């Protein structure tokens, strides 16, 4: 049996979601194939959840009951930094321990929204126009207004819709930018696209990419806020009620993105549909796995159990080290 570490917690604002996602992994791991320990990443160290035994970070091991435990695989379920930005991937890759997510470069690239967009333009991926600002840049209002109003103001390196504002009046720009800077030292300002929001999960199994049935996300608020993503303040329709042509277009674009970005494990791509064209909003390389999350809904609509989904991710990532 393979011994799995479920790594959760972390210092980001998304810690609570990470803990919920880890709970789902704990509940649905195939216990005929895997044993596991849940490891909490806290500000004062890394601990085994039940015993509070401190992890030896020199080799990512535990001493429990007088015996040393090592791990065959890490299910990395920390949202935001230091996982979605590639820091922990680098650590485990240095130690030679397989993990469940994209490798270091891909994770860091997809977490940086503007840098990811800069790369994807070379592959003709439809994207909303945007500009990046840093604190030392000041606010170039004419450049921002050239995108048109409204605009979205977002932390450039963050997830789960923290710090995002939709700005419809120029006098609100300054406060929205200030809010985004609370979460990151870079802010991306993106043109507003009017349309319907969708998500599509992709998983690799051996040489085959599986694009799940797409989900339409209908937020109660003006856009896909944190509350909409994680607290039920949205209607999610899986499979989405769109034509087969549009559904296949979204799935094909998601598979292309998975390949272009050298993804691994399960990844969710979020889009906005304008007319009959899907525009990428963002790539989520460690998507939520809480009971309210989209990937579990899509996997089940695809005919997979959550247990099978976790099996596929673990086995594929172990083979692709």
- Total number of residues shown for the chain: 321
| Same domain assignment for residues 207 and 299 | yes
Give the whole-angstrom CA distance, residue 16 versus residue 229: 13
| Same domain assignment for residues 171 and 291 | no
| Same domain assignment for residues 286 and 198 | yes
Q: Which residue do the tokens 């994207």 mark?
A: 127
The catalytic residue positions are: 14, 160, 230, 268, 270, 282, 284, 288
| Same domain assignment for residues 152 and 289 | no
pLDDT (0 to 100) of residue 149: 95
Element containing residue 321 per DSSP (H, E): none
Element containing residue 236 per DSSP (H, E): strand 234-237
User: Mean of the pLDDT values across residues 3-27?
Assistant: 91
pLDDT (0 to 100) of residue 291: 73
User: Mean of the pLDDT values across residues 219-238?
Assistant: 65
Mean pLDDT taken over the chain: 92
| Same domain assignment for residues 78 and 114 | no
| Same domain assignment for residues 186 and 204 | no
State the pTM of this model: 0.91
Q: Is the pLDDT of residue 227 over 70?
A: no
pLDDT (0 to 100) of residue 64: 93
| Same domain assignment for residues 136 and 215 | no
| Same domain assignment for residues 119 and 267 | yes
How many domains does the chain fold into? 3
| Same domain assignment for residues 247 and 167 | no
- Going by pLDDT thresholds of 50, 70 and 90, the confidence category of residue 159 is low
List pLDDT tens digits, range 43-68.
889 999 999 999 999 999 999 988 99
List pLDDT tens digits, range 175-212.
999 999 998 999 999 999 999 999 999 999 988 999 99
| Same domain assignment for residues 80 and 143 | no
Q: Is the pLDDT of residue 292 over 80?
A: no
CATH of the domain at 28: 3.40.50.20
List pLDDT tens digits, range 62-96.
999 889 999 999 999 998 889 999 999 999 999 99
| Same domain assignment for residues 116 and 236 | yes
| Same domain assignment for residues 17 and 92 | yes
Question: Which structural domain, as residue segments, surrounds residue 52?
Answer: 2-100
């Amino acid at each position: 049996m393979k011994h799995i570490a479920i790594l959760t917690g972390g210092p980001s604002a998304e810690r609570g979601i990470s803990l919920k996602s880890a709970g789902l992994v704990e509940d649905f791991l195939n216990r005929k194939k895997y044993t596991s320990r849940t490891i909490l990443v806290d500000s004062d160290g890394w601990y085994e959840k039940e015993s509070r035994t401190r992890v030896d970070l020199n080799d990512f091991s535990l001493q429990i009951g007088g015996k040393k435990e090592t791990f065959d695989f890490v299910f990395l379920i920390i949202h935001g930094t230091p996982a979605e930005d590639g820091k922990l991937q680098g650590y485990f890759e240095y130690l030679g321990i397989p993990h469940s997510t994209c490798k270091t470069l891909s994770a860091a690239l997809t977490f940086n929204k503007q840098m990811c967009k800069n790369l994807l333009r070379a592959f003709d991926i439809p994207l909303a126009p945007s500009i990046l600002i840093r604190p030392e840049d000041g606010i170039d209002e004419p450049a921002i207004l050239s995108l048109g109003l409204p605009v979205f103001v977002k932390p450039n390196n963050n997830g789960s819709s923290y710090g995002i504002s939709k700005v419809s009046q120029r006098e609100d720009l300054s406060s929205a930018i200030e809010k985004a800077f609370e979460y990151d030292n870079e802010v991306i300002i993106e043109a507003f696209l009017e349309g319907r929001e969708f998500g599509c999960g992709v998983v690799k199994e051996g040489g085959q990419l599986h694009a799940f049935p797409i989900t339409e996300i209908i937020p109660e608020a003006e856009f896909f806020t944190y509350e909409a993503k994680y607290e039920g303040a949205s209607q999610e329709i899986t499979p989405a009620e769109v034509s087969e042509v549009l559904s296949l277009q979204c799935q094909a674009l998601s598979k292309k993105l998975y390949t272009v970005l050298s993804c691994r494990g399960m990844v969710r791509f979020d889009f906005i549909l304008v007319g009959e064209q899907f525009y990428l909003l963002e790539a989520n390389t460690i998507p939520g796995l809480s009971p309210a999350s989209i990937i579990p809904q899509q996997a089940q609509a695809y005919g997979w159990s959550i247990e099978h989904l976790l099996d596929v991710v673990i086995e594929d990532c172990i083979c692709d080290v």
